[in-house]
Amino acid sequence: MSDSPLSETATEAVEALLDEVTAEPQPQPLLQAENLSGKVAIVSGGSRGIGRAVALELARCGTHVAFCYLDVGDESRREAEEVASELRQMAVRVFFRSCDVRESSEVGSFVAETDEELGGIDVLVNNAGIGRDSPMWRMADHDWEAVIRTNLDGAFYFTRAVAPFMRAQEYGKIVNITSVYGIRTEFGISNYSSSKAGLIGLTRSSAVELGPKNINVNAVAPGYVRTTRLTEGVSPEILDRARERSALGRLGDPRDVAGVVLFLCSEAARHITGAVITVDGGYVL
C-alpha cells in the first residue's frame, strides 16, 4: 500500500506544504480583531501567566495596554518591566504600575491614571487572582479574606470604576477570568471556589446592568493552565490526574485562554453577553 502512486502523491503534497512553512519572528495573533486597533485595555494581574498572554494578544491587535501587578519584591517588578518592554515592541502605548486590587481607592486611582495616560478605556480584563488552599476547618480568616478580596472584590472594584467611562461612550468589553472551580469544586478550595462562583454571578449581574449601554460582559473559565502562579504549587500528581481527566489529554496554555478573551473583546462576539466559556480541554465533561 505504501508504494502506491496515490501514497507517493500524498507524500509529495505533504512535503511541498512543509517546504512552504517559514519561521515567524514572533507569534501571530490568535484572532485578527481589527476593531481593537487603537482601543485602550486594562488587564489586572498582567505581568505573568494568563494576564501577560492576554496583554500581549491585545497589543498584537494594536490595542494600547494598561496593566497592574502586585509589588511583592524585585522579581515582581522585573517581570512587570519585561512585559512592558514586550508590549512596547509592538508599537502600542503602555501604562503599568503596582496596584493592590483589594483596595478600592488604589483601583480607582489606577483607572483614572489609565484614562489620563492612554486617553480612554474600552476593554477591561479582570484577571488578578490568588489561591490559598486548605480544608475549611483549618482555613484561617486571612486566607479566606485574601482570596475573596482579590478574586471577587478586585473584579467588582475595577468594573465599578470603568463603568462610567464605558457608559458615557456607550461601548465597552469586560471579560472576567473565573475558573472551572467556579462551576464545580474539589476538596480544600472553598475560598477559591466561592470567589470564582461569585465572579460568575458578578459577570451576569454586570451584563444585565451595563448591557443597555452597549457593554458586553462575559467570563472565561480556565481549567488547569501551565506556567501560571496558581499551578506552581500544585503537585505533579494532581497535574497528571488533570491531564488524564481532560478529554484532550493535555493541560492548557495561557494563550489558549488569551485567544478566547480576544474573541470576546472582538466584534465577532458583539451579541454575546453574560456568558461563561470554559477553556479546560474537556476537564469538566
- Annotated catalytic residues are 192
What count of residues does the chain have? 285
Between CA 189 and CA 281 the distance in angstroms is 21
User: Quick check: 257 and 54 in contact, CB under 8 A?
Assistant: yes
Q: DSSP string of the chain?
A: -TTSHHHHHHHHHHHHHHHH----SSPPPSS--GGGTT-EEEEETTTSHHHHHHHHHHHHTT-EEEEEE---SHHHHHHHHHHHHHHHTTT--EEEEE--TT-HHHHHHHHHHHHHHHS---EEEE---------TTT--HHHHHHHHIIIIIHHHHHHHHHHHHHHHHT-EEEEEE--GGGTS--TT-HHHHHHHHHHHHHHHHHHHHHGGGTEEEEEEEE-SBTTSHHHHTS-HHHHHHHHHHSTTSS-B-HHHHHHHHHHHHSGGGTT--S-EEEESTTTT-
Q: Residue written as cell 486611582?
A: 109
Question: Which residues make beta-bridge pairs with 252?
Answer: 225
User: Quick check: 149 and 66 in contact, CB under 8 A?
Assistant: no
Radius of gyration of the CA atoms of the chain, in A: 20
